[in-house]
Structure 1
Amino acid sequence: MSLVCLNTITDIAAASWDALLVDHQPFIRHAFLSALEESGCIKPETGWHPQHLLWEEHGKVLAAMPGYRKNHSHGEYVFDHAWADACQRAGLPYYPKWLCAVPFSPVSGARVMGGQQAVRQLLELLPAWFEEARLHSGHINFTNSFADSLLEQQQDWLSRIGCQYHWHNRQYRDFNDFLDTLMSRKRKNMRKERQTVREEGFDFCWYQGDELTQSQWDFIYVCYANTYAVRGQRPYLNRLFFSLLAERMPAAIRVVIAQRDQKPVAMALSLVDDHTFYGRYWGCLAEFAHLHFETCFYQGMEYVMANGLSRFDAGAQGEHKLVRGFEPTLTRSWHLLRHSALHEAVADYLQQEKLAVAAWALEARQALPFHRQQP
């Protein structure tokens, strides 16, 4: 029995890694993680040093965790910058740390993969491995219920909750069927937004990953990068990542392109699995009234209904999603802080934060547009 650390996901065969997965969510698959690494989006020079952990018995991989040694906290969507700043002021080291997550992807899902007993053994070894590797903390972001149940049994791991907004398909026949569940004023506002887009002459075309030409992928990337450029930031992902993703998992990719006068002006790229539509990347070449809402939300909602999916995960943040029927959904992450004083201070903070986030999620439901509270 042994704990193995991999410095690249390609050190394990895709079949061996994917065999540990219990569902078809695309983000944790070998293809997605290897595309991040082989494109150069993830590498030590960008502050993301792959350190994936395996638990092996008799040469067979029984459990695994995707992981990264980090010297910063960018691209995580579970914000611990204040903890790092507090350590700096106190003269304590916070970095390097180890993060178990899918880079740049605030999507809850499998983080510890394998059978329950093997995963439990892997988790029990983490504190000693952190010390051996000279890591000051460990973090596991956007966990599913399987990981939560096991981490609750581990000592010293602190739980943190967050809030996202997800839309649920309650067997709606079509968009009008969904609109019928809304209060009159909200229904009229949504129809007006969609009508404005139609009157501006936009039409929308859907594509699977292998249906897109290279020129269309170039357009998609320009739009994606532009969302960062307008904020004076560099994009996390490069053009090669999109090419590798299209090559390795095209069936999971869905792209809607907004056209006007037969010219593309905006796009939204999403991923899908058997049950969920994951809205990921959006961008446009020019600003138009309500085009963002139509391309990113309404088009996706229609796709979910037409294809019998049950949920639309539109990513992190965005209280504006509430009035469009996206409901507050709690997320969870876990944190092990080796310095005892920091552990105690953060534990106290997280208890207060938990109450505040839970209260906000309850209050936010009052902003939902439905006639009555949804189940």
Structure 2
Amino acid sequence: MQLKWLNSLIQVTPQQWDALFCNDDKNADNPFCRHAFLLALEQGGSVGAGGAKHHSGWYSQHLTLWQDDVLLAAVPGYIKSHSYGEYLFDWQIADAYRQYQLPYYPKWIAAIPFTPVTGPRLGVLSSNLTDSLLPHICAALKQRLGAQDFCSVQWLYNSAQLQQNLTGQGFLARHDVQFLWQNAGYRQFDDFLQQLDGRKRKQLRKERSRTAGFRIKTLHGNELSAAHWQAVIRCYQATYVKRSGHQGYISPQSFMALADTMPGNIVVFAAFAGASEDEMIAAALCFKSSDTLYGRYWGALIDAEHLHFELCYYQGIEYCISQGLRYFDAGAQGEHKLKRGFEPVLRYGSYLFADTPLSSAITAYFQQETAHLQAYRTAAMQALPYKKI
């Protein structure tokens, strides 16, 4: 058995990689772990690959285990020189390191870039290999941590089971809260509304009515023309420039690579100012699996709060109902999702830091943070708009 670090996914075939991440019922079609998704980020320059310097601060460093020429296991990994684009943020810890004049970067993370979606972070050729291979992977990570190749190891948005297994390997457990809409077998949007209390139901209908002046259209990946994609990218970049002063994490080249390689996983909810297809003024780009819709990238050329709610939430809920999808994961953060029926759920991360004077404080911080998040989740459940039974 041989361990190899890969600085680009071109070093493995799609068949080799996808055989690890698409071989069980639960994760068989998770779009973000697929070779096509990760390679699109590399080849489009959204992350750095091949050891080249790149402005994004993400550098591909995938961990793989081989038996002769057979790929047994892999972890999508990246060397980071900052903490942007992760969403399970560690800014407080980075600040503490800076105050103590300790190096915090580079760090290695097992994650999907710019994608706070729970999914497999350890792909194995057969699930019965997990228990035997994970110690080898953790030993390799600890060896590089000891050699000061990086200052910490972080697994972000992994499964609860993997977090438990990593805790057994000496990693610290960390948590986050996200909001998830769940389909209770609704036949139409009004069935969902009927489960809300009267005041919230009235509010949602009022918000939807305020977008009546726009033409709303659902476009699947194979229906998106080059002009559509250019409009989606313009909307995405315009919103990022206004919000963050840059044009967003995903490059136009990466978007177009995704358009070419993953059209079956892409859904866009778009708003048009008029009858022409050239008048797209807002768009929410989503990905889908067999049971989940994932809201990923939003953008608009105008300032329209209710249009955001319509495209990012209500159109997605309607789509899940019409397509029989069980879940709608609309992205990280956003307490405003609560009043629109998205329930608070726990998410998971695992961390290992080089030993420093801050080690015990970090352990205590994670424990306090988890207790706070669990209390917050309990309180948030009480704020859901559903009728009390």
TM-score (norm 1): 0.96
- Which residue among 294, 314, 332 is the counterpart of 1:316? 332
Residue pair 1:166, 1:328 contacting (<8 A) in 2 also = yes
CA deviations over 1:44-84 (Å, ceiling 9, x no partner): 42211111000112331111101111111111111112212
- Which residue among 368, 372, 383 is the counterpart of 1:352? 368
2:165 is matched with 150
User: What secondary structure sits across from 2:374 in the alignment?
Assistant: helix
Q: 1:133 to 1:14 in 2, by over 3 A?
A: farther
Matched, 1:242 2:252: no
- Which residue among 70, 78, 82 is the counterpart of 2:80? 70
1:139 is matched with 154
Question: Equivalents in 2 of 1:129, 1:60: separation in Å?
Answer: 24
1:301 is matched with 317
CA deviations over 1:220-251 (Å, ceiling 9, x no partner): 00101111111242111111111000101110
Residue pair 1:304, 1:310 contacting (<8 A) in 2 also = yes
Question: Equivalents in 2 of 1:337, 1:353: separation in Å?
Answer: 17
2:144 is matched with 129
- Which residue among 3, 26, 36 is the counterpart of 2:41? 36
Q: 1:82 to 1:54 in 2, by over 3 A?
A: same
How big is the shift at 1:133?
A: 5.8
Residue pair 1:328, 1:361 contacting (<8 A) in 2 also = yes
CA deviations over 1:84-130 (Å, ceiling 9, x no partner): 22112212111111111001000011001113122343233321132
CA deviations over 1:190-217 (Å, ceiling 9, x no partner): 111112222xx22221111121111110
Question: Equivalents in 2 of 1:194, 1:125: separation in Å?
Answer: 52
Alignment of 1:206-285 (within 5 A): 206-234=218-246, 235-262=248-275, 263-285=279-301
Alignment of 1:185-224 (within 5 A): 185-198=199-212, 201-224=213-236
Alignment of 1:170-185 (within 5 A): 170-185=184-199
How big is the shift at 1:152?
A: 2.5
1:168 is matched with 182
Matched, 1:112 2:133: no
Question: Equivalents in 1 of 2:58, 2:274: separation in Å?
Answer: 42
Question: Equivalents in 2 of 1:154, 1:178: separation in Å?
Answer: 43
**Amino acid of the residue matched to residue 328 of structure 2?**
F
How big is the shift at 1:289?
A: 5.1
1:8 is matched with 8
Q: 1:34 to 1:133 in 2, by over 3 A?
A: farther
Question: Equivalents in 2 of 1:249, 1:119: separation in Å?
Answer: 30
**Amino acid of the residue matched to residue 357 of structure 1?**
L
**Amino acid of the residue matched to residue 298 of structure 1?**
Y
User: What secondary structure sits across from 2:357 in the alignment?
Assistant: helix
User: What secondary structure sits across from 1:230 in the alignment?
Assistant: helix
**Amino acid of the residue matched to residue 42 of structure 2?**
E
Structural RMSD (CA): 1.4
Question: Equivalents in 2 of 1:123, 1:18: separation in Å?
Answer: 22
Q: 1:265 to 1:137 in 2, by over 3 A?
A: same
Q: Number of residues paired by the alignment? A: 370
Q: What stretches of structure 2 of length at least 5 have no aligned partner?
A: none
Residue pair 1:196, 1:289 contacting (<8 A) in 2 also = no
CA deviations over 1:296-338 (Å, ceiling 9, x no partner): 1000000000001000000010011000000001101111001
Residue pair 2:167, 2:350 contacting (<8 A) in 1 also = no
Residue pair 1:113, 1:119 contacting (<8 A) in 2 also = no
Deviates more, 1:244-253 or 1:230-239: 230-239
Question: Equivalents in 2 of 1:65, 1:340: separation in Å?
Answer: 26
Question: Equivalents in 2 of 1:123, 1:276: separation in Å?
Answer: 31
Question: Equivalents in 1 of 2:161, 2:20: separation in Å?
Answer: 13
Q: What stretches of structure 1 of length at least 5 have no aligned partner?
A: none
Q: 1:339 to 1:224 in 2, by over 3 A?
A: same
Identity across aligned pairs (percent)?
Answer: 41
User: What secondary structure sits across from 2:158 in the alignment?
Assistant: coil
How big is the shift at 1:131?
A: 2.4
Q: 1:331 to 1:240 in 2, by over 3 A?
A: same
